[in-house]
Amino acid sequence: MGHTVNGTTYPQLYVHAQTAQLRCLMTTLCDKHSQRGDWVFTADRVNRIMVEFALNFLPVDPVRVITAVDDEAAEGVCFAGKIVGVSVIRAGEAMETALRSCCRNVRLGKILVQRDEETAKPKFYLAKLPHDVAERHVLLMDPMLATGGSALTAIGKLLEAGVKEENIIFVNVVAAPEGISNLLHRHPKITFCTAAVAEGLTQKCYIRRSVGDFGDRYFGTN
Ligand code: PRP
Ligand code: URA
């Protein structure tokens, strides 16, 4: 299990299978000529795929059910424990609809962290989390991981609020090796799910040959 990036194996890093569908969708996201409507539609599809993928890492308990056809017992599983989605504003908010579609009535926390456009350093503004967040499994949502600074800041706030590191599942779309290394060396117990591991960063700390500024493209502020 796990995934190797630049010679280092991270047991807690899970990269979605590079299916034809996912590769087509990622190609549309990376294309600077994609029309805005197509880009947002495609981002929603990738976000849904990644939320579905990440849900596989929640714990399950065994259950017995009585089947409809013959009233016989059958062994199955159901999700164990409580969850909460936490989006890193803004781009992470684009994943909320996917999570709401999969988990009825899911609670949603928010953490506002913004990268400085010149220095790429994260600045923390606000965290709004449910009062019992410490007892929950957290699906932390942000489609982009570049330097890892924003994710480290968000995870720091979750840990301050009492969330157990091993109860954090980071739901991501594109991750740069620099960010993966920063994040997973500091927080080896989190689970990290992504659709793509990128080549690296540009001089301005954007992800090379990737989707560009996700938040700007999704919300139309580019
Ligand atoms: C983007 C992205 C991540 C962060 C990744 O957010 O959504 O939060 O940058 O970069 P890092 O790993 O180097 O910290 P940004 O601050 O640009 O805000 P936005 O979501 O409003 O676009
Ligand atoms: N944030 C983004 O949205 N894209 C990048 O390439 C880096 C940070």
Query: What separation in Å is there between the alpha carbon of 4 and the centre of ligand 1?
Result: 24
Closest ligand 1 atom number to CA of residue 88: 8
Chain segment 56-102, per-residue pLDDT in tens = 999 999 999 999 999 999 999 999 999 999 999 999 999 999 999 99
Residues in contact with 43: Cβ distance below 8 Å, sequence separation at least 6, in sequence order: 29, 94, 143, 214, 217, 218
Chain segment 184-220, per-residue pLDDT in tens = 999 999 999 999 999 999 999 999 999 999 999 999 9
Closest ligand 1 atom number to CA of residue 213: 22
CATH number of the domain at 90, please.
3.40.50.2020
User: E strand or H helix at 11, and its extent?
Assistant: none
Residue-number span of the structural domain to which 85 is assigned = 3-219
Domains of the chain: total? 1
Query: What separation in Å is there between the alpha carbon of 64 and the centre of ligand 2?
Result: 45
47 pLDDT above the threshold of 80: yes
Task: Record the tokens describing residue 110, joined without a space.
Answer: 């928010």
Banded pLDDT at 1 (limits 50, 70, 90): confident
Among all ligands shown, which has an atom nearest to the Cα of 124?
A: 1
User: E strand or H helix at 185, and its extent?
Assistant: helix 177-186
Q: What is the pTM of this model?
A: 0.97
| Per-position DSSP letters for 72-131, written without gaps between them | -EEEEEEE-S-EEEEEEETGGGGGHHHHHHHSTT--EEEEEEEE-TTT--EEEEEEE--T
Chain segment 168-179, per-residue pLDDT in tens = 999 999 999 999
Q: Whose CA is nearest to atom 17 of ligand 1?
A: 115
- Does residue 70 have an active-site annotation? no
Closest ligand 1 atom number to CA of residue 146: 12
